[in-house]
């Protein structure tokens, strides 16, 4: 018994009972206990599992909580990024407004300085300080220097800071105007006005470069047209301002005022303008186009200068030799517009990014000449087609039509570009140019000159 008990005691803890009822009962008991213990253990395990599960759930909840915290941080980061984008967008708009204002006022000062001596010319002639020939020499010196610097300004704007070029040109122009007011030597005036004309060429190429950097291509035409209007606004208001100053304080004071305004504006432009949005840590609103456009624009301006002169010379010579039942000047304008149409075609379908810069500039010069030539002719025809006492009104109507065209060249054309691309814009311009030339050629009786009627 004792050994059995010993065995049973010894075996029982192992949960194995040898043969026998007693052993069986013991086994059952042990089994019961074991099952009980097992249940208890299961209970414990379950409780343990529960605690583990609760821990794991807690851990999981902790992970989820951490995940939620991380997600919250991510949401906060996204929100901060959104706020940062809005801040950047607002900063970009502020820079755009400031830079465009500086360009608008600065280019208006360029125009004011360019014409400031001509406003004082009647007074200088009346005082005997200059003669008509001297005035012509001074004007020619300025125009020739201006024609050369228009092209050089475009090239320089691609090589150096447009901000520095714009400010330096305005500074040099203002300084030349101030010095002009301090002397009465005609030779010095001619030299100073050549310097003024040379400084003028720094203006528009810099404007074109900065507009391209700071404004979206979708709105580029609109901003271009509005900036161009600054010259018209200056040309409208500056004669009245100059006349008031000349009457009140003399011709010298008028030039002093124009020069000082330009010097102040040059400093303001230097402090306000930034060459590139990246320099201000701002996103660029322009498309990443590597090829510069300023040389082409300068070539157009240079071609326009010579085209306007050529148009006047050609129409005078042809009108004196050719007798037709039509206005010869308008026929010459139609020829210029045909050349413009051809230039637009080359620009649309012939030129490629691999084209030589010399070829591109040549096309720009042809386009500038063929566009500015008709502008000069239309003004001449408007003045000739009406009696002398109505010539000013006639010219005003033509100028109004030109301003309407400038407005239409802004936002409406940018909308066309958005729908049809810029090639579509060029095709539209070709069609309009060809239609205008065709209208002139097919309606000769509508533009017969007064002289032809008398003959």
Task: Output the CA torsion sign for 150, 413, 336, 230.
Answer: negative
Longest dimension (CA), the chain: 160
Which residue from 85, 105, 92, 97 is spatially nearest to 286, judged by alpha carbons?
Answer: 92
Cα–Cα dist 207/275, whole Å: 11
Q: Answer yes or no: are the C-beta atoms of 169 and 203 closer than 8 Å.
A: yes
Cα–Cα dist 188/179, whole Å: 9
The encoded tokens of residue 392 equal: 């000013």
Residue 411: the pLDDT is 64
Q: Answer yes or no: are the C-beta atoms of 315 and 374 closer than 8 Å.
A: no
| Buried b or exposed e, range 134-145, using 16+ CB within 10 angstroms | bbebbbebbbeb
Domain ranges of the chain: 295-455
Query: Distances in Å between the alpha carbon of 7 and those of 17, 20, 23, 146, 344?
Result: 9, 13, 10, 124, 115
Query: Distances in Å between the alpha carbon of 328 and those of 310, 314, 345, 437?
Result: 15, 10, 26, 13
Residue ranges in 284-356 assigned as alpha helix (H): 294-321, 328-345
Quote the DSSP letter at residue 346: I
Query: Distances in Å between the alpha carbon of 272 and those of 19, 99, 200, 248, 278?
Result: 106, 6, 20, 34, 15
Which residue reads 């020499």 in tokens?
137
Q: Answer yes or no: are the C-beta atoms of 368 and 310 closer than 8 Å.
A: no
| Buried b or exposed e, range 246-256, using 16+ CB within 10 angstroms | beeeebbebbb
Residue 178: the pLDDT is 94
| CATH code for residues 295-455 | 1.20.1250.20
The encoded tokens of residue 333 equal: 């304008």
Cα–Cα dist 176/181, whole Å: 9
Total residue count of the chain as it appears in this document: 455
Residue 407: the pLDDT is 62
Query: Distances in Å between the alpha carbon of 285 and those of 69, 213, 393?
Result: 36, 8, 43
Residue 262: the pLDDT is 95
Which residue from 319, 265, 344 is spatially nearest to 103, judged by alpha carbons?
Answer: 265
Residue 69 CB-density burial (10 A; 0-12 exposed, 13-18 middle, 19+ buried): exposed
Q: Which long-range contacts (CB under 8 A, 24 or more apart) does 322-325 make?
A: 324/444, 325/444, 325/445, 325/448, 325/452
Task: Output the CA torsion sign for 393, 399, 404, 405.
Answer: positive
Q: Running along the chain, 455 residues long, what does each successive block of 10 average in pLDDT?
A: 42 43 40 41 40 40 42 52 72 90 94 90 87 84 83 79 93 95 90 93 88 80 80 85 92 94 95 89 66 68 80 82 80 92 91 86 89 83 74 68 69 76 88 92 70 45
Residue 283: the pLDDT is 80
Residue 16: the pLDDT is 44
CB atoms within 10 A of CB 340: 26
Residue 421: the pLDDT is 83
């Amino acid at each position: 018994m004792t050994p059995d008990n010993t065995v049973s005691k010894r075996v029982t803890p192992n949960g194995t009972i040898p043969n026998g009822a007693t052993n069986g009962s013991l086994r059952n008991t042990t089994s019961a206990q074991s099952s009980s213990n097992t249940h208890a253990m299961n209970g414990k395990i379950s409780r343990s599992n529960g605690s583990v599960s609760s821990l794991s759930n807690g851990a999981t909840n902790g992970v989820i909580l951490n995940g939620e915290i991380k997600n919250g941080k991510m949401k906060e980061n996204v929100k901060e990024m959104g706020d940062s984008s809005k801040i950047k967008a607002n900063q970009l708009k502020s820079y755009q407004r400031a830079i465009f204002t500086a360009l608008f006022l600065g280019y208006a000062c360029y125009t004011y300085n360019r014409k400031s001596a001509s406003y004082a010319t009647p007074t200088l002639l009346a005082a005997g300080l200059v003669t008509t020939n001297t005035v012509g020499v001074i004007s020619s010196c300025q125009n020739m220097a201006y024609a050369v610097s228009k092209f050089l300004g475009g090239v320089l704007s691609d090589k150096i800071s447009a901000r520095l070029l714009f400010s330096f040109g305005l500074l040099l122009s203002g300084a030349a105007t101030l010095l002009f007011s301090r002397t009465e030597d005609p030779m010095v005036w001619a030299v100073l006005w050549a310097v003024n004309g040379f400084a003028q060429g720094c203006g528009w190429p810099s404007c074109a470069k900065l507009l391209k950097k700071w404004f979206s291509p979708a709105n580029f035409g609109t901003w271009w047209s509005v900036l161009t209007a600054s010259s018209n606004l200056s040309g409208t208001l500056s004669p009245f301002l100059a006349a008031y100053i000349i009457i009140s304080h003399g011709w010298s004071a008028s030039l002093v005022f124009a020069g000082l305004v330009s010097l102040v504006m040059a400093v303001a432009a230097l402090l306000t303008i930034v060459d590139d949005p990246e320099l201000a840590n701002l996103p660029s609103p322009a498309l990443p186009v590597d090829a510069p456009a300023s040389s082409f624009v300068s070539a157009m301006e240079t071609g326009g200068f010579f085209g306007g002169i050529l148009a006047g010379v050609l129409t005078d010579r042809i009108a004196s030799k050719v007798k037709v039942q039509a206005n010869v000047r308008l026929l010459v304008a139609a020829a210029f517009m045909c050349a413009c149409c051809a230039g637009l075609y080359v620009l649309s379908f012939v030129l490629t990014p691999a084209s030589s810069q010399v070829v591109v500039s040549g096309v720009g010069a042809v386009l500038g000449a063929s566009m500015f030539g008709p502008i000069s002719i239309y003004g001449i025809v408007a003045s000739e087609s009406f009696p002398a006492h109505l010539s000013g009104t006639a010219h005003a109507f033509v100028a109004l039509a030109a301003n309407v065209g400038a407005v239409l060249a802004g936002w409406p054309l940018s909308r066309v570009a958005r729908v049809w691309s810029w090639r579509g814009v060029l095709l539209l311009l070709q069609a309009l140019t060809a239609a205008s030339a065709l209208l002139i050629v097919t309606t000769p009786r509508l533009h017969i000159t007064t002289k032809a009627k008398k003959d």
